[in-house]
Structure 1
Amino acid sequence: MLERIYTGFPKFKLKDEQGIPKDKVKTFPWIHTPYMKRGLIGIQYWEWLSEEWEWIDKQVIDKYVAGKINHPTILIALSGNGLHAGKKAKDNNGYFICDRGSSHIRFQDQILREEYARWGFTFRGVDPRVIEKEEIEYEQADRITIPSEFVKQTFIDQGVPESKLSKIPYGARLERFYKVAEPDTDKFKVLWVGNVCLRKGFMYALHAFQNLRHPNKEFVVIGTVESEIKQLLIGQNLDKVFFLGLIPNAQLPRMYSTASVFIIPSLEEGLAMVQGEALACGCPVIASVNSGSEDLFKDGQEGFIVPIRNPAIMTDKLVQLADDPALRDRMSVAAIECVKSMGGWDRYGEGFRETLLALVEGK
């Protein structure tokens, strides 16, 4: 069904993506690629420059694609990137789908402002120009595709009609992620994979682990530690907490497979794909309701779904798994079966196909 993909990434970054005909990929890397590499020259800390660069990036790719549309088509654009191209598609008797991978942008801005303030930091906030552009896109789009019930509810709460929303949950790459080993029965290992930041609720996970009484526990943290967390870690008890930084993706299946439990208490996310990766490797998940977890697994069956900002409840769930290895084993088996039943990413593809056909058929 695909006619073309336009991306700001260079082609070599897409060499591992199988099944996409290379002649359908058109790159425009002149703004986005240097933006992604800005950390190499140390300017990622110049917030005003990063903000301006990101804004220009979104505008340039949007207008570039708009210039390429001259016939009826369905444009699917990541939110914040499709205002001009979406209008051009509709002007050519086509359709515009705004694909939003996170919560409604106003909810996202508000909850992050609250969270930063709780820990004594000032959140710069989402660029007001980006908020304005995205909300115009929400209004202009024929459909808004979203990955989870949590995200859907944030849009409804902001006044977006439910009829405009198409929920299509993400999947997991079963060819990359599957069980390759067993956890050490003499050790209770809690695993974190992803950015170590306030948005993902890292400090709540750390406090839950600190409060866990276990003679042989570990907290393995994989991902880049953001500056706010580095400040908050000063003076913390980090005994048995191991920060590994970034590791090659090829090592992740073993990390998931040998962990006792995976934890992700995000304040807001569309549908954290690391959950599907963990489940595919037979690792039970403790996730917040704001991580999109309800669209991946059932509470108490493949893991536990918990409220945000509640380390005490997370500690209780850790205790349950640590004290009852049989429960952990049942959840591990259920996790693998759950992800297999989704068919990897096939369910996502079928969901998008149905959305596209319903759109052109006027349903």
Structure 2
Amino acid sequence: MDKKVDITYTVASKIGTIGMGSTAYNALKGIEKGKFSYQAFCRGYNPNLDLNEENLTNYSWLEYLTYPFRFLEKFLGLHINSFRFVNYLFGKIVELKLKRPKIYHTWIGISPEAIKKAKKSGAILILEGANSHPLNITKIMNKEFKNHNKTEFLIDLKKAKRDSEILESFDYIMCPSDFVYDSFINQGFKKEKLIKLPYGVDIERFSKVKKKKNKKVKFVFVGSIQLRKGISYLLEAWESLGLKNAELIIVGRVWPDAQEVVNKYRKNKSIKFTGFTKNPQEFLKGSDVFISPSLEEGSALTCYEAMASGLPLIATYNTGSVIRNGKEGFIVKAGDSKDLGEKIQKLSGDKKLIEKMGNAARKRVSKFTWINYQKNLSKIYKLLLKKNGK
């Protein structure tokens, strides 16, 4: 029988990249600093990272299996969820290789059999709630897809219900924001099962710099350009204002569901689409205000990064940011282009307010560093092991 490890951490992503890869890296750093024995399953990792590679099981070759699906999507216009297929295979491998962990911490989308195996071995099951409850996602996004006549992207309600049933087997859900926390409460989860743990930011990499004053107020959006991110409401709000003293910079890769929306605004000279970048800090340094109009998120890392760069935010509650309305920026209603436009207009005409809120944002986010995240996660693991007699 395999020797037990303290923690098994599973993420169907490349550790050390952006988004979930960044969060996973910092989780593993917290595990190592807490001196836990562990194994980690991933779909790739940056070899330059200061992690113990002996504990990492890497299945980066699974990425190649997505290429035929991407070809069909790009050249035939078919909508195929290749990542669901690859994640299924990844989960089956995890199931076979899984040792007997005291804690099994995983992101959603992993094979139910792997979860059952960990549960049967007596492990404490923790789900990384990187998004809101599956039924909440389905409700929000299916409404949005229907509004844009993008029915080919509709989420299968039966699958969402199956995912919901799987979540019932978890002992705890990590909630990075109030938005995620509330979505689980609304689905009947007990407070005792929900653990609030915000994400973080590297405040040295993302720092406020003294920049030259822009002739125009620069608003910036950084992230994947898709309907879930509220991009249609941002572009609609921006064009309706017709601001002469401001410009909007959209940084990110356009997803298929938003391609038609984006094409409508490409001729607007006050909007600049830059494409994907691995170095968002360069755009943040040169901008004045950050906008995050998401309809559904967990807790967008770009919001932490923008705050660390000294930018005030205009963000929805659904974004899961740590700003307070009227202090580090403005919280607007998701899916409301009018509310969004009003806040854009307000900041476009008040550079002193931008400076004040930007300074407040930098100060507030200094409490939400990755170092603090690592320490807090380690404390949570120790508390759960002690509580459950492990």
TM-score, length basis structure 1: 0.88
CA 24–158 in structure 1, closer or farther in 2 if over 3 Å, else same: same
Residue 280 of structure 1 is matched in structure 2 by 308
1:254-308 Cα deviation digits (max 9, x unpaired):
3112212111111100111110111111111110111102xx1211111111111
The 5-angstrom pairing of residues 29-178 of structure 1 reads 29-31=60-62, 33-37=63-67, 41-43=71-73, 50-51=80-81, 53-81=82-110, 83-127=112-156, 130-178=159-207
Which segment is superposed worse, 264-273 or 79-88?
Answer: 79-88
1:242 aligns with 2:267: no
1:6 aligns with 2:38: no
Which segment is superposed worse, 61-70 or 91-100?
Answer: 61-70
Question: Aligned to 1:308, which of 329, 334, 352?
Answer: 334
For the residues of structure 2 that align with 1:181 and 1:255, how far apart are their CA atoms? 14
Q: Once the 2 structures are TM-superposed, how far is the Cα of residue 66 of structure 1 from its aligned partner? A: 2.3
Matched residue of 1:67: which SS? helix
CA 262–144 in structure 1, closer or farther in 2 if over 3 Å, else same: same
1:64-86 Cα deviation digits (max 9, x unpaired):
22223343421111112152222
The 5-angstrom pairing of residues 345-360 of structure 1 reads 345-360=370-385
Matched residue of 1:74: which SS? strand
1:254 aligns with 2:254: no
1:208 aligns with 2:233: no
For the residues of structure 2 that align with 1:235 and 1:94, how far apart are their CA atoms? 51
Report if aligned partners of 2:135, 2:161 keep a CA contact under 8 Å in 1.
no
For the residues of structure 1 that align with 2:306 and 2:37, how far apart are their CA atoms? 30
1:323 aligns with 2:353: no
CA 206–166 in structure 1, closer or farther in 2 if over 3 Å, else same: same
Which segment is superposed worse, 280-289 or 315-324?
Answer: 315-324
For the residues of structure 1 that align with 2:366 and 2:308, how far apart are their CA atoms? 8
Matched residue of 1:186: which SS? coil
CA 183–335 in structure 1, closer or farther in 2 if over 3 Å, else same: farther
Residue 340 of structure 1 is matched in structure 2 by 366
1:98-135 Cα deviation digits (max 9, x unpaired):
21211111110111110111223215333557535522
Question: Aligned to 1:15, which of 40, 47, 61?
Answer: 47
For the residues of structure 1 that align with 2:378 and 2:77, how far apart are their CA atoms? 39
1:15-43 Cα deviation digits (max 9, x unpaired):
35x33222221112343x12454576354
Which segment is superposed worse, 237-246 or 206-215?
Answer: 206-215
CA 8–248 in structure 1, closer or farther in 2 if over 3 Å, else same: closer
Report if aligned partners of 1:83, 1:133 keep a CA contact under 8 Å in 2.
no
For the residues of structure 2 that align with 1:208 and 1:43, how far apart are their CA atoms? 30
CA 123–175 in structure 1, closer or farther in 2 if over 3 Å, else same: farther
Report if aligned partners of 1:220, 1:241 keep a CA contact under 8 Å in 2.
yes
CA 227–92 in structure 1, closer or farther in 2 if over 3 Å, else same: closer
Report if aligned partners of 1:301, 1:331 keep a CA contact under 8 Å in 2.
yes
Q: Once the 2 structures are TM-superposed, how far is the Cα of residue 213 of structure 1 from its aligned partner? A: 4.9
Q: Once the 2 structures are TM-superposed, how far is the Cα of residue 355 of structure 1 from its aligned partner? A: 2.6
TM-score, length basis structure 2: 0.83
Report if aligned partners of 2:308, 2:366 keep a CA contact under 8 Å in 1.
yes
1:290-335 Cα deviation digits (max 9, x unpaired):
1102xx1211111111111112222221222222211111111111
For the residues of structure 2 that align with 1:49 and 1:30, how far apart are their CA atoms? 23
Q: Once the 2 structures are TM-superposed, how far is the Cα of residue 185 of structure 1 from its aligned partner? A: 3.7
CA 69–208 in structure 1, closer or farther in 2 if over 3 Å, else same: same
% identical equivalent positions = 28
Report if aligned partners of 1:82, 1:98 keep a CA contact under 8 Å in 2.
no
Letter in 1 for 2:57: K
For the residues of structure 1 that align with 2:38 and 2:263, how far apart are their CA atoms? 51
Which consecutive residues of structure 1, in runs of 5 or more, have no partner in the other structure? none
